[in-house]
Structure formats: structure tokens, C-alpha cells
Amino acid sequence: MPEGSEAATLPTLDPSDVVFDLERLSCFYGSFRAVREISLQVPRNRITALIGPSGCGKSTLLRSFNRMNDLVEGAHIEGSVRYHGVDLYADGIDPVEVRRRIGMVFQKPNPFPKSIYDNVAFGPRVAGYRGDMAELVERSLRRAALWDEVKDKLRDPGTALSGGQQQRLCIARAIAVEPDVILMDEPCSALDPIATLKIEELMHELKENYTIVIVTHNMQQAARASDLTAFLTMGEDRAGHLVEMAPTEQLFTRPANALTESYITGRFG
Amino acid sequence: MAVGVQVLPTREAVEARLRSGRADRLGALIQGLLLAALLIALGVLLVLLADVASRALPVFGERSAEFLSAPLSARPARAGIVQGLIGSLALMVFVVVLSLPLGIGAAVYLEEYARDTRATRLIRTNIRNLAGVPAIVYGLLGLALFVTLLGMGRTLVAGGLTLAVLVLPIVVITTSEALRAVPGSIREAAFGVGATRWETIRGHVLPYAAPGILTGTILSLGRAFGETAPLVMVGAVVGTFNGVDLGAMMTGSYTSLPTIVYNWSREPQDAFRALTSATIVVLLLVILLVNATAIFLRNRYDRRW
Amino acid sequence: MTTPLTSSDFQIAPQRRRREQLVHAAFLASAGLSIVISVAIVVALAGNAVSFLVNVDKSALFAGGWFPRRGLYDIPTIVAGTLVISVVAMLVATPLGLGAGIYLAEYASPRSRRILKPIVEILASIPSVVLGFFALTFISPRLIQPLTGAPLSNMASAGLAVGVLITPLVASVSEDAMHAVPGFLREAAYGLGARKRSTSLEIVFPAAISGIVAALLLAFSRAIGETMVVSIAAGGTGGSLFQLNPLEPGQTMTAAMTALAIGSDRVRGSALTFESLFFVGLLLFAATLILNVASEAFVRRVRSRY
């Protein structure tokens, strides 16, 4: 039995607090298993970090939360992902509706080659939003801490912004569809330290209204910014599995698992 | 749409919303329209092929062999396309002998030797523009240069040279693409053991790019085979003439298969319509064979070593 | 004891070097040949074209009809014929070609693309004489004439056939343009909960627009340079009056040149009709050159973006 799969220690959560409930989730690309039997829970209005060495399936796991893996030919899962109790992979569940409620920010900022305004307005528009779009755009940009910097140039192309601003634009874009959860896949790895800090501050503000799950290979970032941390690693079969999950402070100061301790003290990964 | 803190969504509410995705009728319609566009284009191809084939049946049914071996004649019952077959083949020889070496040579120079200077960029742009010049303009070039200035007259030689010039830019472009597809590591490995540039090209780059170059040149030949306008400009006979001797055609009247199609299509009688269709069938078969060979080669050698 | 290295150890053998230089020169000459060809085209056209302009009675250039045998060389007639047919062709090729291209790029599964793309390539390889014949013997009598009562030779059927001819060009270039749009843009759109049609039409298509415009310009250039379809199916043999109605026969620049070349419009012993051929050729060359250069400019815009 791969080390740590059944013995993963998990924090106990109040059931009404649970947003995601994964039960023995395995993710496959064709016949290759990228993620093995992960069981964990994600609480609402908190920042949950997924850390671990590169290649251990953190991104794959994150993408299974909003069915982004569906876009890859041959991808499928075993086990279940429950969101507010609803099995996301059940028949009849529309992945498009899933993604409207569980948004995603990617590693490399990817604004559309459109104006800043149109970038933010795209999501709500295709979702059929009929309210005051200008107000929604402003509100989203404010919440992403970008409004003051762009309010006079909303018609400028989104690609003309700096890297950090582009990423905040992508966050504003994700917020505009009024999701419940924001997934972030290494959102700062392409940014300089100052931009990174701004995003981390932003995340702290955002968790008041959204549940955030972030994948990061930067341990210090996880330690700084998250409330809970889940540590994954790759087993002999090249599939990622959960080693330990705990409140961040506890995981980094008094890890329960020897492997966790090795990782956070830099002995591997 | 659910928002975080204030409202705790119930499982039923969330599930209802996640299942609510209404059948995306507009999306299905759009997808249908796009597919229809593709199918209409292909449908036209089918209608064309069916129409031509059905018109050609009388000719092939009654006198296939004679059709393929008889010369042109004003009498449809006696007319055949052998002069066009000979002419087209001879023209292709010109194209192969002239455009392939020159075209591949130019591409090798541009991709392997030339540095990125203004002159090189000018040559590249120039070749791209030449590839876009209408075929009939090449006919004018042939008329002014080969037929008139160099005094070759309206002979197959002039026609062959004209076609060779027309195909040249296309060969350069397809060969350049094939050469560009060769990974830099191949060249580096050869240089690394002390090979000169030419030795690298001859021993490593060209063999690697050979399938792509071959495919491109075969497709160019197919294109040249179907060209009519430039040949009409330089004097391919649009009418009838005597003689099935290749030597005579080199220095005298000649024609090509598509030129025969052009000529006969101007005759309204049903008998000529049938002849034209039969010629088209032969023409399409040749071109189909050429393209199929090229595609087969491309697929076969697409496995990279 | 090894002998110390000198610089002569790093010299290439003279025979090897000579071969290297010869080969280099041969390749350089091949490349330079393309410049020679371009210059030759311009000289060939310009020489006779200028002579024509000098010798022709200027009023003949705007005489209301193209009748070389009578010395009437109305340029607007043949330009109008070219434009009418090319516009009809673009009206056909743009929706069919773009529709096919978008479908192949965004909707077709890898398996169906493997079947459909070669078929499109086959359509692209049909010679224009075949389509000209098809226009005269099928499109006109079975489609155009029953619906409109037009004469057998008319610009509409020629235009439709040219449209079919250039549709594969539009389809394959626009498909390439859409393919070139990076995957991370599509991913961002799907991540926001957009459906495939919104993503394809509102994100990918606009991102590919430069390449698509280049495709359309290239197709238009091809349409105006098309000769055989219009010679066979558009009518205008023996001359034609200025005509904008596509349901009538008309004369294009290319068909006019063909008629002059095969002698049906030539006057024996008249240098002028011979020279008029080159004048029209020069006009055509200039027009297609401008369109191709414009198309290139749009392709460059695509490359600079990504």
C-alpha cells in the first residue's frame, strides 16, 4: 500500500462548513493514474493550499474540482467529488454550470486580447447576465484590487498591463461570474515578488466572500497565506497521493508525518 | 448564483442549479451550420464528379482504347487525346528537370546558408509574391521572353520553360518548409563532429527533409499538370493539328491534356461534351493519383527517427 | 610525445574548401534566379504595355465596350467583369470556406478531421478547366438558367464556379489561423464557464482575425487572376459591353487576355492588339501584387502577436 494513502491525517471540519468533499478520488489520463485515492475536505471562506513536489498531481487534483480535466481527451475519474453535497461528476450535471460556480485562475496570466472591460464582462455576458454590466465590472475590478489602476483605461487592451496587473485582471474576470469558489493554480509563479505579495494580500481579502483553493510549489507562500494546507507527494507508481492535511501553522511547525517534515525542511522536492 | 458568507446553499438548491443547463439549442444550431458549410463544399465535389463521370460513360463504354490513342480531330467520333497525353508528359519532364533542382537549390540556400540580411528577406518576400502571381501572367512572361525574344516560337520547349518558371516559387516554398521542420539538433550533431555545411546538408539535413520535399514537389507537379492559361498564352494549340510525333511537337504544334479540355469545352455539341467529360476523367485520375501518392508518402514517412 | 598544434591543423583541406565554395555559389545562384524572374516579368509586361499606351487612341480606353478587333479597349468593361465575378466568388467562398475552416478547427474530432481534410485538399486540386466546364454544362443550365432565365454564358455561373475553386483555400488558411491561437486562451474561456460556441466565435475567431483576413485577401487575389473558368463560362467572346449584371455574359481581364492570345480577338498584323495583351496583364499583375502584399502584412501581424 502506497505510503500515506489510508493513514493521511485530516482536520475535522464542521459539516456545514464543508464546500468540497472528496472521497477516494483518483484521476486518470487514459490508463495513467495521475492522482491516487485522495480523500479530503475543503472548508468555506478559507484558503486551502495544496503543496508538494512538482509532478505529484496537484494541478490535476485542482482541475478535478471544476471539471477542467474533462477538456483533456481520455481523462476520467474514479471516486467522487462532492460540492455542497452534490456529486459533480454525476449524470446530468452540466460542466459549464460547474465552472460558473467554481472559477479558476491559471499559472500564466491569460487575459483575452480584448479591452480590460470586455475581459471582465465576457464571463457574465455568456452566462446571460442582464443587470448593470458596468457596475458589475467595476465591482469585480475593485474586489481584485485593480480598479484604481485601470479605471481610466478600461478600453485599453488587457494584454497591455504588467504581469501582476494581468493576473489581478484574471482574478477580476473570474470574480465577475460571481462564483462560490476560486481555484488558483500557482497564480504567482510567473510574477515578481512585489506582485506576488499584492496577490497574497488580495487572497486574504477575497476569502471573506469566496472559498479559495490554491496550488503552490512555494512552501513559504503556503505558510504565509493559507489557513489549511494539504501535502501531496508522488508514490512509486508515479501517482500523487495525500500525505497529510492540517491547519497551516500546525503542519509547518508540528507535522504529524515524517515525510511531511522531510519536505518542509527541504530534504526533498 | 451562489455567494459565500451570508447564504448557505442547501444541497438541493445547488444540485438544481447545476443540472439546469438548458439544452444549448443555439450552440447546436451554430455547429450544424458550420458542418453544413463543410458538407456543401464537399457535396459540390461529389456532384461534379458524378456529372462528369456520367457524361463520359458513352466514350469509355464504346471506344476507350481509341479515345486514348487517337489524335485530335474535328470529327468527335474519331477524336482522341493521345497528343495531349504526350504533350503533358513532355511538359512535366521540363518541369521536373528544371524546377526541382533550381527550386530545391534556392530553398537550401535560403534556409541553410543565408544569414538574415535585408537581401535574404527581400528574396524570401519576392518568392512569396511570385507564388501568388496568377498563372496567366507567367504565360505572358513566356510569350515575351521565350516565344518572342529568344525566338523559340510556339513550341513545347517554350511551354515547358514557362511551366517550369511558374512552378519554381512553389517548389522553393514547400522545400523551405520541409527544411525548416528539420530539428536544429540534427545540424548541431553533424557540425559537432566536424562536418562542413554542405556535408551536413547532404548527409543529414536533406535525408531527414526528403519525404517533405518529395511530397511538396509531387504536389507541385500535380498543380502544373492541370495548368492551362500559361500554355494557351505561349501557343499551345487550341484546335486540331496533325502528328503524334514527340520530336515534331518539340519544335512545332503541341498541346496538353487540360488545353484539350479547354478547346473542346467551347464546342456545344453533345458529342463534344462527352469527349470533354472523358478527357476530364483522365485528367482527374492522373491528378488524383499524383495527390494520393504524395499523401501516402507523407503519411508513410511521417514517423520520425 | 605529441607534436604541438599549430593553426594549420585547423585549416580545412583545400579540396574540401573548393567544393564547399562551389556548392555555396550554386545555391546562391538558384536563389538569385527568383529576382531575375521578377525583374523579367516586370520588364516583359512593362515594355509592351507602355508601347500600347503610347500608341493607342486614348478615347478607345473608355469606349464603353471591349472589342479589340474594332480597336475598342474599354478598360472599365474588363475591370467590371473581373470584379463582378470575383465578388460573386467571394460571396460563395467566404461563408462556405470560413464555416468549413471553423468547423475543422474547433468542432471536428481528430478522427473526422483525418478524413475531411484530405477531401478538402482533393477539392483544392481540381484544375480550373474542369470547374469551367462544370459551370457551363451544369451550374448554368441546371441552376442559374431555370431560376433566372439568364443566357447560357453568364457571369454568375462563372462566379459560383470560381467561388468553389477558392473555397478550399479559404478553409485551410482560416483553419490554420484558428489553430494558431494558443490553447491558454481557450482554457481561460472554458474556465469561466463559457460554452464551445462562445469560446470559438467570441474568443478564438477574433484572436485569429488577422490570419482570416489574410486568407480572404489571398482568395480574392486568386479569384481575380482566375482564367479558365471565366474563359469557358462567362461569355464575352468576341467582345463585350460594359456590364454589371451578373446574369449577363461579361469579359474579365483574364478572359480578354486569353481571347487575344488564341487569336480570336487578334487582328493579323496589328501590333496594337498584341500589346494590349500585355497592358491588361500589367494591370492584373499590379492588382494581385497589391492584394498579396496586403495579405502578407496581415500574416505578419499574426506572427508578431504570438
Exposed / middle / buried, residue B298 (Cβ in 10 Å: 0-12, 13-18, 19+): middle
User: Between the CA atoms of A140, A142, A143 and A146, what dihedral angle is there, to the nearest 10 degrees?
Assistant: 100
How far is residue C167's CA from residue C100's CA, in Å, rounded to a whole number? 9
Q: For residue B185, give how far its alpha carbon lies from the nearest alpha carbon of chain A (Å).
A: 27
Residue B240 has pLDDT above 90, yes or no: no
Residue C72's Cα: distance from chain center in Å? 28
Enclosing H/E stretch for B120: helix B118-132
Judged by CB atoms closer than 8 Å, whether chains meet at A177 and C203 is answered as no
Judged by CB atoms closer than 8 Å, whether chains meet at B265 and C136 is answered as yes
Q: Work out the percent of chain C whose per-residue pLDDT is above 90.
A: 39
Average pLDDT over residues C102-126: 86
Confidence of residue C269 (pLDDT cuts 50, 70, 90): low
Confidence of residue C266 (pLDDT cuts 50, 70, 90): low
How far is residue A38's CA from residue C129's CA, in Å, rounded to a whole number? 66
| pLDDT value, residue B88 | 92
B82, B64 contact by CB (below 8 A): no
| pLDDT value, residue C239 | 77
Q: pLDDT tens for residues C60-105?
A: 788 778 888 777 888 888 999 999 999 999 999 999 999 999 999 9
Least-confidence region, from A226-240, B27-41, B159-173, C64-78: C64-78
Average pLDDT over residues C202-228: 92
- Here the contacts of A187-191 (C-beta below 8 Å, separation 24 or greater) are A187/A105, A187/A106, A187/A107, A187/A214, A188/A216, A188/A218, A188/A221, A189/A107, A189/A216, A189/A217, A189/A218, A190/A107, A190/A108, A190/A109, A190/A163, A191/A163, A191/A164, A191/A167
Which subunits sit against B, judged by 3+ Cβ pairs under 8 A? Answer: A, C
Q: For residue A44, give how far its alpha carbon lies from the nearest alpha carbon of chain B (Å).
A: 8
Whether the predicted model's global pTM rises above the 0.95 cut: no
Judged by CB atoms closer than 8 Å, whether chains meet at A16 and B4 is answered as no
**Top-confidence residue, B185 or B10:** B185
B137, C41 contact by CB (below 8 A): yes
Residue bearing cell 546538408: B201
Residue B61 has pLDDT above 90, yes or no: no
Sign of the C-alpha dihedral computed for residues C222, C225, C228 and C229 taken in this order: positive
| pLDDT value, residue C113 | 84
Question: Interior CA angle at C134 toward C129 and C136, to 5°?
Answer: 95
Mutate to test the interface with B, among A42, A84, A205, A206 (most CBs of B within 10 A): A84
Residue B305 has pLDDT above 50, yes or no: no
Judged by CB atoms closer than 8 Å, whether chains meet at B134 and C257 is answered as no
Q: Does B8 touch chain A (CB under 8 A)?
A: yes
HSE (CB half, 13 Å, CA atoms) of B235? 26
Average pLDDT over residues B139-161: 89
Confidence of residue C29 (pLDDT cuts 50, 70, 90): confident
Q: pLDDT tens for residues C245-263?
A: 888 898 999 999 988 888 7
Average pLDDT over residues C132-136: 93
CA-nearest residue to C195 within chain B is B27
**Top-confidence residue, A190 or B21:** A190
Average pLDDT over residues B143-163: 89
Query: Which of B238, B259, B241 shows the shortest CA–CA distance to B251?
Result: B241
Buried b (16+ CB within 10 A) or exposed e, C60-82: bbebebbbbeeebbbbebbbbbb
Judged by CB atoms closer than 8 Å, whether chains meet at B21 and A94 is answered as yes
Judged by CB atoms closer than 8 Å, whether chains meet at C188 and A170 is answered as yes
Which subunits sit against C, judged by 3+ Cβ pairs under 8 A? Answer: A, B
Query: Which of A68, A67, A59, A60 shows the shortest CA–CA distance to A83?
Result: A67
Exposed / middle / buried, residue C28 (Cβ in 10 Å: 0-12, 13-18, 19+): middle
| pLDDT value, residue C138 | 92
How far is residue B175's CA from residue B180's CA, in Å, rounded to a whole number? 9
**Residue C129 main-chain phi, psi, to 5 deg:** -60, -35
Judged by CB atoms closer than 8 Å, whether chains meet at B226 and C137 is answered as no
Q: Work out the percent of chain B whose per-residue pLDDT is above 90.
A: 28
C18: its cell numbers:
573548393
Least-confidence region, from B109-123, B290-304, C177-191: B290-304
Q: pLDDT tens for residues A99-148?
A: 999 999 999 999 998 999 999 999 999 888 889 999 999 999 999 989 99
Q: For residue A105, give how far its alpha carbon lies from the nearest alpha carbon of chain B (Å).
A: 18
Judged by CB atoms closer than 8 Å, whether chains meet at C187 and A103 is answered as no
Average pLDDT over residues B72-101: 88
Enclosing H/E stretch for C66: strand C65-67
Residue B34 has pLDDT above 80, yes or no: yes
Confidence of residue B241 (pLDDT cuts 50, 70, 90): confident
Complex prediction ipTM = 0.88
Which subunits sit against A, judged by 3+ Cβ pairs under 8 A? Answer: B, C
Q: Work out the percent of chain B whose per-residue pLDDT is above 70.
A: 94
Residue C16 has pLDDT above 60, yes or no: yes
Residues 6+ apart with CB under 8 A from C2: none
When CB atoms are compared, the residue of B1, B3, B8 closest to A209 is B3
| pLDDT value, residue A4 | 41
| pLDDT value, residue A5 | 43
**Residue B67 main-chain phi, psi, to 5 deg:** -60, -40
| pLDDT value, residue A6 | 47
Q: How many CB atoms lie within 10 A of CB A56?
A: 25
Query: Which of C291, C151, C275, C158 shows the shortest CA–CA distance to C228?
Result: C158
Confidence of residue B16 (pLDDT cuts 50, 70, 90): confident
User: Between the CA atoms of A167, A168, A172 and A174, what dihedral angle is there, to the nearest 10 degrees?
Assistant: 30
Helix locations, chain C, DSSP H: 14-55, 75-102, 110-124, 128-134, 145-148, 155-179, 183-191, 196-198, 205-207, 209-224, 228-233, 253-261, 271-305
Judged by CB atoms closer than 8 Å, whether chains meet at B105 and C30 is answered as yes
DSSP structure class, residue C126: S
3-state SS string over chain A?
Answer: CCCCCCCCECCCCCHHHEEEEEEEEEEEECCEEEEEEEEEEEECCCEEEEECCCCCCHHHHHHHHCCHHHHCCCEEEEEEEEECCEECCCCCCCHHHHHHHEEEECCCCCCCCCEHHHHHHHHHHHCCCCCCHHHHHHHHHHHCCCHHHHCCCCCCEHHHCCHHHHHHHHHHHHHHCCCCEEEEECCCCCCCHHHHHHHHHHHHHHCCCCEEEEECCCHHHHHHHCCEEEEEEECCCCCEEEEEEEEHHHHHHCCCCHHHHHHHCCCCC
CA-nearest residue to B21 within chain A is A94
When CB atoms are compared, the residue of A16, A45, A94 closest to B18 is A94
Tell me what the pLDDT averaged over chain B comes to.
85
How far is residue C14's CA from residue B154's CA, in Å, rounded to a whole number? 48
Ranges of chain A whose pLDDT falls below 50: 1-6
Q: pLDDT tens for residues C46-71?
A: 988 888 888 888 887 887 788 887 77
Average pLDDT over residues C138-155: 89
